[in-house]
Structure 1
Amino acid sequence: MERLGLFAKISLQKMNVIKHCLDLFDHVSGQKVNLRKSKIFFSFNVSLEERIDICNVAGMEMTNEIGMYFGVPMIHGRINKARFESLLSKVDNHLARWKFNLLSFVGRVTLVKLVLNALPNHLMQALYLPRSVCDEFDKKVWNFV
Structure 2
Amino acid sequence: MNSELLKPYSAEEVTNAISHMAPLKSPGPDGRRMTKLSGASFGSGRQFGHIIPERGLRQGDPLSPYLYLFCTDALTSLISRAESSGALQGIRVCKGAPSISHLLFADDTLICCQASLEAMNCVQSILQVFDKASGQEVNYDKSVVVFSKNTQSHLMNDISIGLGIRCADRHDKYLGLPSVIGRTKREVFDFIRNGLEKNQQLE
Query: Which of the numbers 122, 142, 145 marks the counterpart of 1:40?
Result: 145
Contact kept? 1:36, 1:60, Cα under 8 Å = yes
> What is the CA–CA distance in structure 1 between the aligned matches of 2:171 and 2:134, rounded to whole Å?
27
SS in 1 for 2:194: helix
> What is the CA–CA distance in structure 1 between the aligned matches of 2:191 and 2:181, rounded to whole Å?
17
Superposition deviation, residue 66 in structure 1: 4.0
Deviations 1:98-142 (A, max 9, x none): 3xxxxxxxxxxxxxxxxxxxxxxxxxxxxxxxxxxxxxxxxxxxx
Structure with bigger gyration radius: 2
2:182 matched to 1:77?
Answer: yes
Matching residue of 1:64: 169
Gaps of at least 5 residues in structure 1 are: 1-9, 99-145
> What is the CA–CA distance in structure 1 between the aligned matches of 2:150 and 2:189, rounded to whole Å?
27
2:151 matched to 1:55?
Answer: no
> What is the CA–CA distance in structure 2 between the aligned matches of 1:53 and 1:43, rounded to whole Å?
15
Superposition deviation, residue 75 in structure 1: 2.9
RMSD of Structure 2 on Structure 1 (CA): 2.3
AA aligned opposite 1:71: G
Runs of 4 or more above 3 Å deviation? none
> What is the CA–CA distance in structure 2 between the aligned matches of 1:45 and 1:85, rounded to whole Å?
24
Larger RCO: 1 or 2 (CA < 8 Å, sep 6+): 1
User: Structure 1 87/36 Cα, relative in aligned 2: closer, same or farther at 3 Å?
Assistant: same
Superposition deviation, residue 90 in structure 1: 2.6
User: Structure 1 19/66 Cα, relative in aligned 2: closer, same or farther at 3 Å?
Assistant: farther
AA aligned opposite 1:46: T
Contact kept? 1:41, 1:66, Cα under 8 Å = no
Q: How many residues align?
A: 89
Question: How high is the sequence identity, in percent, across the aligned residues?
Answer: 29
Superposition deviation, residue 19 in structure 1: 1.0
Superposition deviation, residue 24 in structure 1: 2.3
Matching residue of 2:119: 14
TM, length-normalised to structure 2: 0.38
Gaps of at least 5 residues in structure 2 are: 1-114
SS in 1 for 2:167: strand
Deviations 1:17-46 (A, max 9, x none): 101212222223322211122222222333
TM, length-normalised to structure 1: 0.50
> What is the CA–CA distance in structure 2 between the aligned matches of 1:23 and 1:32, rounded to whole Å?
9
> What is the CA–CA distance in structure 2 between the aligned matches of 1:53 and 1:30, rounded to whole Å?
28
Matching residue of 1:5: none
> What is the CA–CA distance in structure 1 between the aligned matches of 2:183 and 2:135, rounded to whole Å?
40
